[in-house]
Structure 1
Amino acid sequence: MAISKTPTEVELVDARQVLQLHAIAQLRRLLPLYEATHDPQLLDEIQRWTAMLPEEDGIPMENFWHYLQIGLLIELVNQLWHDRSDYFAAGNVFVYYSPDQAEDVVLNRSTAYRGPDFFVVTGIDGEKPRDNWVVWLEGKYPDLIIELLSDTTADNDKNTKKDIYQNIFRTREYFWYDGDTEFAGWELVDGKYQPKTPNERGWFWSEVLGAWLGIHRSVYERRAFNWLRLFDREGRLVPTQEEAKRQAQRQAEQERLKREQVEAELERLKARLRELGVEE
């Protein structure tokens, strides 16, 4: 694990944490056995003990922008891949990848890694209900991660988390954005992150998404902001559900007006023919 716990710290635990620490001890025992045998009964036990791990920590998001931007990214990926069910896009949920890391979360250690702001995993059953992402159950780490920077998290996002995503997760693409102008992207090349090169608009191409990621001034949830948005291969904005609805309404209105214009022109021609004594 990239983040080490401090051996001298004194940790007070309550009854709930005692049960969760017992679950982690069982996972430490069962996971190597299952890896060696793939016994389905062991997997059932692993799932049962894993279900006892925390699903939230009660720590609020940095600000309301984080909440909206995460929701926007999830919605856009769902819009982009509306015809697919082989992916999981989520944000602000725990990602468990080892019993040691789970213990850090349970004990609320200051160095505990809990998860990214936003991530995407592909090649999985996307219709399976999930409250978090557990690597030892899913068999995969995230393929794409986005962290939303703040004054209190930027250093951790750019250093400690980047090391975790490169060296442990082997996440193919990593991006960060500060809600203003700082937007960077990285891709895994031979086990090391290399900076992505933006296009002339400052957008980064994502091989995972098959789309561009870029800053775009727009209105989302009645707030005008420099949102991180998706664009298709041709550079067209991937619309939110509300934007797609408005586009469909505008198109329907344009088609109605066009039909009315054609019908009016037809009536004018008919009237002219009658004036000339030509029967219809």
Structure 2
Amino acid sequence: MTQTPISLDIPPAFPDHTQLPESDGTFVKNFQEHPQSILLTDSLGSLLQKLHPDGNYAIGQDCGIYWRETEPPEQGAIAPDWFYVPNVPALLEGQIRRSYVLWREFMAPLIALEFASGDGAEERDKTPLSVSNSGEVTKPGKFWVYERIIRIPYYGIYEIRSHKLEVYHLQDFSYHPIEPNERGHFPISMLGIELGIWQGNYQNQDQLWLRWWDNQGNLLLIGDERAEQERQRREVLEAKLKEYQARFGEL
């Protein structure tokens, strides 16, 4: 007896970062956004080398996080201006990440930051995802997605024009505002550092920037600052050596 082959309608596998759009086609909103992201990443480098000697971490800068399958796909993505994910590889099978796909990773970012060009209303939007009887989908707000779906432990909103910074910590399944400490910084206890605002010149812009400090209040330096600090240290040592030689002769 000949058996008729059974046809199984197997749904396609969930797409990965190579199959999803890497941009929604929108522009960066201001000239400070990219330098700000680079500044945060550069100054965190030394700490991340200690925390992840194996190099297993990823930092996204205006990159998409896919949290829901939709059509078109980019409607199920959200793009923080800066975010850090611990304990995931920087590359996937040797390829540079195009986006961060939650259903492929199962590891949420530890912290996400938004640099608000406006009044921060978009970044504080708590509108939940909902579907009407007619099938119309209400677009959820950023705050709601970060808090209720991705569940990012720390979420910061920096209003660039007003220089206002607020940071939230996920506790008991909801965001609670963190109070600044005596230095005016916001402790990120899971990393042992603080986030605050720093006045200075970076990439030819004299601005108020977001920066990291350690929990003793010491600024985490970028590469140029570390090099300048080392140069000044050498100059001090050379001056002391010359002074010693002038007083006591050559060694």
Contact 1:55 1:131 in 2 (8 A): yes
Question: Whole-Å Cα distance in 1 between the matches of residues 211 and 123 of structure 2?
Answer: 20
1:30 has 2:13 as partner: yes
1:154 and 2:135 are equivalent in the alignment: no
Q: Which 4+ residue blocks in structure 1 deviate beyond 6 angstroms?
A: none
More helix by proportion, 1 or 2?
A: 1
- After the TM superposition, which residues 1-280 of structure 1 pair with which residues of structure 2 at under 5 Å, given as runs? 29-31=12-14, 46-47=15-16, 50-83=17-50, 84=52, 85-100=55-70, 103-105=72-74, 113-126=77-90, 128=92, 129-151=96-118, 154-159=120-125, 160-179=141-160, 180-267=162-249
User: What letter corresponds to residue 123 of structure 2 in structure 1?
Assistant: D
On the 8 A contact 1:173/1:208 being kept in 2, the answer is no
Q: Give TM-score scaled by structure 2 length.
A: 0.80
Q: Which amino acid aligns with 1:62?
A: K
- Matched residue type, 2:164: E
SS of alignment partner, residue 73 of structure 1? helix
**Quick check: which has more Rg, 1 or 2?**
1
Task: Provide the aligned C-alpha RMSD in A.
Answer: 2.3
Decide whether the 8 Å contact of 1:79 with 1:241 is kept in 2. Answer: no
Which runs of no fewer than 5 residues in structure 1 stay unpaired?
1-25, 32-45, 271-280
Q: Offset at 1:131?
A: 2.4
The one-letter code sitting in structure 1 at the alignment partner of 2:223 is Q
Query: Would you say the 8 A contact 2:90–2:97 is kept in 1?
Result: no
C-alpha distance in 2, partners of 1:199/1:93?
A: 31
Bigger share in strand: 2
Change (3 A) 1:181 1:263: same
Percent identity between the aligned chains? 26
Q: Secondary structure at the match of 1:146?
A: strand
Counterpart CA distance in 2 for 1:114 and 1:52 is 16
Amino acid at match of 2:151: R
Identify which range, 120-129 or 61-70, moves more after superposition: 120-129
Indicate conservation of the 8 Å contact 1:215/1:229, yes or no.
Answer: yes
Aligned partners of 2:122 and 2:36: how far apart in 1? 19
Q: Give, in whole Å, the separation in 2 of the partners of 1:136 and 1:30.
A: 11
Local SS of the residue matching 1:64: coil
The range that moved more, 64-73 or 187-196, is 64-73
Q: Distance in 2 between matches of 1:177 and 1:27?
A: 45
Partners of 1:171 and 1:94 in 2: CA distance: 14
**Partners of 2:21 and 2:214 in 1: how far apart?**
37
Distance 1:254 1:149, change over 3 A: same
| Contact 1:203/1:214, CA 8 A, preserved across alignment | yes
Distance 2:214 2:208 in 1: 18
Q: CA deviation at 1:92?
A: 0.6
Residue 245 (structure 1) shift:
0.8
Task: Please list the CA deviations of residues 222-241 of structure 1 after superposition, one character each: whole Å capped at 9, or x if unmatched.
Answer: 22111000001110011111
User: 1: distance between equivalents of 2:49 and 2:238?
Assistant: 28
Q: How many residues align?
A: 221
| Counterpart Cα distance in 1 of 2:192 and 2:144 | 25
Name structure 2 gaps, 5 residues minimum: 1-8, 126-140
Query: How much has 1:176 moved relative to structure 2?
Result: 0.6
How has the CA–CA distance of structure 1 residues 141 and 93 changed in structure 2, closer, same or farther, with 3 Å as cutoff? same
Tell me how far 1:63 sits from its aligned partner: 0.5
Deviation string for 1:52-92 (max 9, x for gaps)? 21112332111101121112112122233233323212211
| Aligned counterparts of 1:143 and 1:103: Cα–Cα separation in 2 | 27
Gap change, CA 1:167 and 1:61, over 3 Å in 2: same
TM-superposed deviation, 1:213: 0.3
* Cα distance change of structure 1 residues 28 and 248 upon mapping to structure 2, 3 Å threshold: farther
